[in-house]
């Protein structure tokens, strides 16, 4: 067996690196598992499998609305989610940035060091221009929902009574956004749309297809958003 000291310097440490490789691979896999996957195999409506793309439609409607309202690229939104940023954090960060001179990235970094968003908002004296939300367990989720509701109201996409009825029916934010757009296209109440989807009578994809939105949902969302309807920027 050759003396290790007689080997070229680059080869002397090869066994050590080979020993570390499995640990490095395991660590990389662990890090990857913490990232929110935002990939969808089914991205279009298939009449033979009407519910196959439901998850994609729900995510896509929300991403497009978020990007259009706050004038960000949809790619930026998707990339943020793929690296672990939650829907709730994005809605709050973009809203807070729109009402201040701060960037969403900086606000998100501060949020990661804080217990909840109220600490970040109070530090910069940012008022999200939404109804008061009491701090407590799940406060960020409640706050994000209030932001989404306020955006839908400001954009004229839904009224307060409709949003309240959807909440009481158990409709989550993604479902609320999609129900509102389907309702507008089909000329019927958003609650009726949600009940059809919830009861399994109509998958979201089928509801979109019936409303003529299955192939152009993103375009329709963008067309119905007017960023100038956002509250004026500034600290309150």
Per-position DSSP letters for 29-48, written without gaps between them: HHHHHTSPP---S--S--TT
- Considering its fold, how many domains does the chain have in total? 1
The owner of tokens 């896509």 is 60
Main-chain phi, psi angles of 195, to 5 degrees? -65, -35
| Residue 168 pLDDT class (50, 70, 90 cuts) | very high
The whole-number average pLDDT for the span 18-36 is: 37
According to the model, what pLDDT value does residue 38 have?
53
* C-alpha to C-alpha distances, 218 to 1, 116, 182, nearest whole angstrom: 66, 32, 12
Cβ(214)–Cβ(45) under 8 Å?
Answer: yes
According to the model, what pLDDT value does residue 229 have?
87
According to the model, what pLDDT value does residue 57 have?
97
| Residue 133 pLDDT class (50, 70, 90 cuts) | confident
Is residue 21 scored above 50 in pLDDT? no
Is residue 137 scored above 90 in pLDDT? no
Asked if residue 33 is part of any domain, the answer here is: no
Is residue 122 scored above 80 in pLDDT? yes
The whole-number average pLDDT for the span 145-156 is: 96
Longest distance between any two alpha carbons in the chain, whole Å: 83
Asked if residue 169 is part of any domain, the answer here is: yes
Main-chain phi, psi angles of 83, to 5 degrees? -100, 15
| Residue 228 pLDDT class (50, 70, 90 cuts) | confident
Is residue 46 scored above 80 in pLDDT? yes
Asked if residue 121 is part of any domain, the answer here is: yes
Give the residue with greater pLDDT, 4 vs 183: 183
Long-range contacts of 1-5 (CB under 8 A, 24+ apart): none
Asked if residue 206 is part of any domain, the answer here is: yes
Q: How many CB atoms lie within 10 A of CB 174?
A: 20
Dig out the tokens for 174 from the structure.
């993604």
The whole-number average pLDDT for the span 128-154 is: 87
Q: What is the mean pLDDT of the chain?
A: 84
Nearest to 160 by CA among 174, 172, 144, 176: 176
| Residue 157 pLDDT class (50, 70, 90 cuts) | very high
According to the model, what pLDDT value does residue 230 have?
76
Asked if residue 221 is part of any domain, the answer here is: yes
Domain with 62, as residue range(s), is 54-227
According to the model, what pLDDT value does residue 7 have?
45
Q: Choose the weakest-confidence range: 71-80, 182-191, 227-236.
A: 227-236
The whole-number average pLDDT for the span 193-215 is: 93
Asked if residue 46 is part of any domain, the answer here is: no
Sign of dihedral through CA atoms 206, 211, 212, 215?
A: negative
Q: Choose the weakest-confidence range: 2-16, 117-131, 169-183.
A: 2-16
Cβ(102)–Cβ(96) under 8 Å?
Answer: yes
Give the residue with greater pLDDT, 179 vs 41: 179
Its pTM stands at 0.81
3-state secondary structure of 181: helix
């Amino acid at each position: 067996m050759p003396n290790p000291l007689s080997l070229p310097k680059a080869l002397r440490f090869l066994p050590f690196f080979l020993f570390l490789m499995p640990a490095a691979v395991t660590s990389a896999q662990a890090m990857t598992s913490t990232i929110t996957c935002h990939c969808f195999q089914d991205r279009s409506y298939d009449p033979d499998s009407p519910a196959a793309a439901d998850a994609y439609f729900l995510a896509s409607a929300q991403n497009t609305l978020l990007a259009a309202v706050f004038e960000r690229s949809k790619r930026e939104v998707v990339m943020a989610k793929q690296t672990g940023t939650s829907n709730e954090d994005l809605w709050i960060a973009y809203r807070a940035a729109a009402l201040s001179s701060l960037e969403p990235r900086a606000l998100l970094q501060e949020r990661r060091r804080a217990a909840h968003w109220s600490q970040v908002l109070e530090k910069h004296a940012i008022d999200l221009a939404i109804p008061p939300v009491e701090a407590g367990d799940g406060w960020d989720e409640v706050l994000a929902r209030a932001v989404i509701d306020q955006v839908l109201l400001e954009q004229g996409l839904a009224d307060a009574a409709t949003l309240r009825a959807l909440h009481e029916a158990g409709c989550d934010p993604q479902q609320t956004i999609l129900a509102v757009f389907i309702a507008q296209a089909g000329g019927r109440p958003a609650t009726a749309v949600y009940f059809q989807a919830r009861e399994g009578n109509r998958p979201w994809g089928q509801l979109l297809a019936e409303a003529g939105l299955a192939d152009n949902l993103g375009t329709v969302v963008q067309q119905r958003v007017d960023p100038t309807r956002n509250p004026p920027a500034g600290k309150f």
